[in-house]
């Protein structure tokens, strides 16, 4: 394997690519980075390139916002000539976004093999555009790098047995690489934000289906504003309407989206994390902070089964009950997500695979579980 084209486009993908890009480079692989331009706001993009010392993308498709069909169609048309010019051995994609689908579909149509990081996650809710992306991309991929046993089992149940590598979670790799930095910055960070450790809630909301339920979100915010502690709320641009009324809150403290290390500080200092984010549920569990998820389902089932996370949707009564019953489970969930070496395993697998040329049959290894997981 010589040359990889990686396609990314959103905040969580910038974060996930940080440890993987380093590992690919260390393994002597050439990575050409293509950014779709899905997240273009500086608070969702530029700050991560600085914080995580990411290589600037070689190409930016500048697709921007739009419907799913627009982002997918336009993205594919803009990516195709790049893949034809670069002739990569494979295209690497992360997670479940439009960028993931664009990368995988364009590559597959050109006969270029696809590698999918964070394969096998399922919410089993086909109303979610992300769920459609996950299923499509997993079924197009030659290398499926799964984070957990549950994700690997999901793939096997769909008949995917070839090319499956349970490597651990690259988000754990990222947390482990930056946790020490966040721990040493924590006291200053708390002082700067006028917060006390263990005495505030951290809230994030950004998902499209949350943003569309304005009245329900408003009720949740009104309820949280009546609680006995401050609520730090980094506001995603999609939720910017909240800012127009933020002056009326006494407990909720709105701020701009945080950079990655600041976000780790915010989680470490919080008593409980309240979120509709996928990644944050897991980071809370990894950093041993209880989480209440303002969704009705999750892809990270183990966070629920272990007691680190509760699902409440946007129901105020369920949220109230969850906050009353929040507890810190005795067992850490960290080892569920591997050992922080997922990125190196991915790089190793790809580096050891003989180069596949465009249009050729991808070279499969037999199904191996590289990393046994306790859960």
Q: Binding residues for ligand UD1, per CB under 6 A?
A: 10-12, 15, 95-97, 130, 204, 206, 234, 257-258, 260, 263, 277-280, 283, 299
Phi, psi of 150 (to 5 degrees): -60, -40
Question: 90 vs 175, which CB is nearer to ligand UD1?
Answer: 175
Identity of the residue, 15 or 29, whose beta carbon is nearer to ligand UD1 in the bound complex: 15
Whether 39 is catalytic = no
Query: What is the distance between the alpha carbons of residues 166 and 145, in angstroms, rounded to a whole number?
Result: 6
Apex 22 CA angle, 152 and 121, nearest 5:
20
Q: What angle do CA 205, 211, 217 make, to 5 degrees?
A: 70
CB of 69 to ligand UD1, least distance (A): 17
Q: Could you give the strand order of the β-sheet that contains 59-60, starting from the edge strand earlier in sequence?
A: 59-60, 30-35, 3-8, 90-94, 114-117, 143-146, 164-166
By the 8 A CB rule, do 117 and 145 touch? yes
Under DSSP, the state recorded for 35 is E
User: Closer CB to ligand UD1, residue 52 or residue 346?
Assistant: 52
Give the shortest CB-96-to-ligand UD1 separation in angstroms. 5
Give whichever of 154 and 204 is closer to ligand UD1, judged by the CB atom: 204
Q: How far is the CB of 12 from ligand UD1 (least distance, A)?
A: 4
From residue 26, alpha-carbon distances to 21, 22, 346 in Å are 9, 6, 12
Transcribe 244-293 into DSSP letters. Answer: GGGGG-SSEEEEPPPPHHHHHHHHHH-SEEEE--HHHHHHHHHTT--EEE
* Pick 29 or 193: Cβ nearer ligand UD1: 193
Tokens of 115: 């590698």
Q: Which residues of 125-139 are buried (b: 16+ CB within 10 A; e: fewer)?
A: eeebbbbebbebbbe
In sequence order, which ranges of the chain are alpha helices (DSSP H)?
11-26, 46-51, 68-86, 98-109, 129-140, 149-157, 170-192, 208-211, 214-225, 260-269, 278-286, 301-305, 316-325, 342-352
- Separation between Cα atoms, residue 143 and residue 163, nearest integer Å: 5
Spatial separation of the C-alpha atoms in residues 333 and 338, rounded to whole Å = 10
* Annotated catalytic residue within 39, 206, 344, 373: 206
Nearer to ligand UD1, 206 or 373 (CB): 206
Q: How far is CA 126 from the centre of its chain?
A: 19
Q: How far is the CB of 236 from ligand UD1 (least distance, A)?
A: 7
Query: CB 255 → ligand UD1: shortest distance, Å?
Result: 9
* Nearest distance from C-beta of residue 299 to ligand UD1, angstroms: 5
Minimum distance from CB of 110 to ligand UD1 (Å)? 24
Between 206 and 345, CB nearer to ligand UD1:
206
Q: Which residues are catalytic?
A: 206
């Amino acid at each position: 394997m010589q040359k990889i084209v990686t396609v990314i486009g959103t905040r969580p993908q910038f974060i996930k690519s940080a440890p993987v890009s380093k590992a690919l480079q260390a393994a002597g692989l050439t990575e050409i980075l293509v950014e779709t331009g899905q997240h273009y706001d500086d608070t969702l993009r530029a700050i991560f390139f600085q914080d995580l010392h990411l290589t600037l993308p070689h190409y930016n498709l500048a697709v921007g916002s739009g419907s799913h069909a627009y982002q997918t169609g336009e993205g594919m048309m803009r990516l195709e000539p790049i893949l034809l010019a670069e002739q990569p051995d494979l295209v690497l994609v992360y997670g479940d976004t439009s960028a993931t689908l664009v990368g995988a579909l364009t590559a597959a149509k050109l006969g270029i093999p696809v590698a999918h990081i964070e394969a096998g996650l399922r919410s089993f809710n086909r109303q979610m555009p992300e769920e459609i992306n996950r299923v499509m991309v997993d079924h197009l991929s030659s290398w499926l790098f799964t984070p957990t046993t549950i994700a690997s089992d999901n793939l096997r149940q769909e008949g995917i047995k070839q090319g499956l590598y349970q490597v651990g979670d690259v988000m754990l790799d990222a947390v482990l690489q930056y946790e020490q930095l966040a721990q040493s910055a924590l006291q200053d960070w708390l002082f700067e934000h006028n917060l006390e450790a263990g005495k505030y809630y951290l809230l994030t909301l950004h998902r499209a289906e949350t943003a569309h339920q304005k009245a329900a979100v408003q009720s949740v915010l009104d309820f949280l504003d009546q609680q006995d502690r401050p609520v730090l709320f980094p506001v995603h641009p999609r939720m910017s309407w909240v800012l127009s009324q933020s002056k009326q809150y006494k407990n909720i403290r709105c701020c701009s989206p945080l950079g990655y290390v600041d976000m780790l500080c915010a989680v470490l200092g919080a008593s409980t994390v309240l979120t509709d984010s996928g990644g944050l549920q897991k980071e809370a569990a990894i950093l041993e902070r209880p989480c209440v998820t303002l969704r009705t389902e999750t892809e990270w089932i183990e966070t629920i089964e272990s007691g680190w996370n509760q699902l409440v949707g946007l129901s105020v009564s369920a949220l109230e009950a969850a906050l009353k019953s929040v507890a810190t489970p005795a067992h850490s969930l960290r080892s569920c997500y591997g050992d922080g070496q997922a990125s190196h395993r991915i790089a190793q697998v790809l580096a050891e695979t003989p180069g596949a040329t465009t249009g050729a049959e991808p070279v499969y290894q037999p199904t191996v579980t590289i990393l046994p997981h306790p859960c």
